[in-house]
Amino acid sequence: MDTLQKVVDFYLRYQTTLSFSIVSLLTAASERIFSSAVFKCPCNSENLVYGYSFLLAPAFVLLLLGYMMNTRTWRLFTGMCSLENHPQYCSWRTWAHFCQLFVPMTVKASVAPLTWIAVALLGANFYECAASGSNMTAHLFCKNNTNYSQEQLYKMPCDEELSAAMSSVCLSFHAQSQLIGWFLIASIMTVALISTCVTHCFSPVSYLQFKFWKIYSRKEHKLFEIKAKEHATKLAERNTNCFFEATDPAPFHIPSNEDWQKVSVSYTFNAQEQYYSMLHKYVNSDRGNDPEFKEEGQHPNVFEFVDEAQASVSGL
């Protein structure tokens, strides 16, 4: 049991890093399978479209899946276009807040597609096929492109002898792809490190308070899910019993639509308030009836840190 508890604690502590690592490994493995078992360069005038389709189309699909699997996507969009909420979502502050949350969502959703592109470029199969179908490639990377026709460029990915002969005149497509791939990886790591450092530097809370906030967020989401299941089960039992036994239903409290709306919006930290979630704020502001109850905070960046732990605990 002690070993299992240590494993669980390790996962909870590094769950974001582990999740990104698992996604990256699965994406890299999928790219290798596609490259070896599915991809076959046509070696004709369709090289450009075919090669870039395998390089970019799966990345776009993975980006869409990243949005779909992010719980915050549905938290932001659910009910946004309803007539009741229309005046609320017309303010520029609300849209600015939406953009502040949408950018980190895009960053997280981009992990898999960027991994696909980077691994594909290092493998070079997709790029080599696409580059051989481009006239611009010959002008950019060949010292004397008059020695070879466009038809010969088309056949380079399928003819090893021709590819070896042309490499003396042209920078190898394989080398080009790997150079671009390593540059992409280095750029991603640099931007990720800089953005993380900048975001932490502007955090209005200390390191220990931030750790407490993450622990609280995990516990709140776990307990909320347990309590929601219990409450839903009791309500379902009451309604089912009343239906089959033809009895009047006993009083049963259910949060109103307004209450659900108040606790469902994304919380952003306000340095003047000591709240750690919208539920915490709702409970301490007379169930959201306090005139000072607001949905917008002042420091959305802090919420981005904490929300990494929230999203992986439950589907809320």
**Residue 278, CA distances (Å) to 33, 129, 220, 284, 296 in order:** 44, 52, 11, 10, 10
Nearest residue to 113 via CA among 65, 69, 73, 157: 65
237 and 138 in a common domain:
no
Whether the pLDDT of residue 260 is over 80: the answer is: yes
198 and 211 in a common domain:
no
If you search the block for the tokens 């991994």, which residue do you land on?
115
pLDDT of residue 36: 80
Q: What is the mean pLDDT of residues 122-136?
A: 85
Kindly report which listed range (147-161, 232-246, 251-265) carries the lowest average pLDDT score.
147-161
**Residue 113, CA distances (Å) to 30, 62, 66, 187, 268 in order:** 12, 5, 9, 15, 28
Which is higher by pLDDT, 157 or 130? 130
180 and 225 in a common domain:
no
103 and 212 in a common domain:
no
pLDDT, one tens digit per residue, over 277-305 is 888 888 888 776 776 665 444 455 555 55
179 and 140 in a common domain:
yes
> Could you give the number of structural domains in the chain?
2
Three-class DSSP category at 79: coil
48 and 139 in a common domain:
yes
Percent of the chain with pLDDT over 90: 21
> Hey, what are 38's tokens?
């599915």
pLDDT, one tens digit per residue, over 163-187 is 777 765 556 778 888 999 999 999 9
Q: Where does a domain end: 181, 202, 223?
A: 202
Q: Alpha-carbon distance 30 to 24, whole Å?
A: 10
Q: Where does a domain end: 142, 172, 202?
A: 202
271 and 186 in a common domain:
no
Domain span holding position 281: 207-309
57 and 156 in a common domain:
yes
Nearest residue to 129 via CA among 63, 46, 29: 46
Burial readout 222-254 (b: 16 or more C-beta within 10 A, e: otherwise): eebeeeeeeeeeeeeeeeeeeeeeeeeeeeeee
185 and 96 in a common domain:
yes
Domain contains 106 = yes
pLDDT of residue 299: 53
194 and 110 in a common domain:
yes
28 and 165 in a common domain:
yes
Domain contains 82 = no
Q: How confident is the model at residue 124 (pLDDT cuts 50, 70, 90)?
A: confident
Q: Where does a domain end: 158, 181, 202?
A: 202
If you search the block for the tokens 């592109």, which residue do you land on?
117
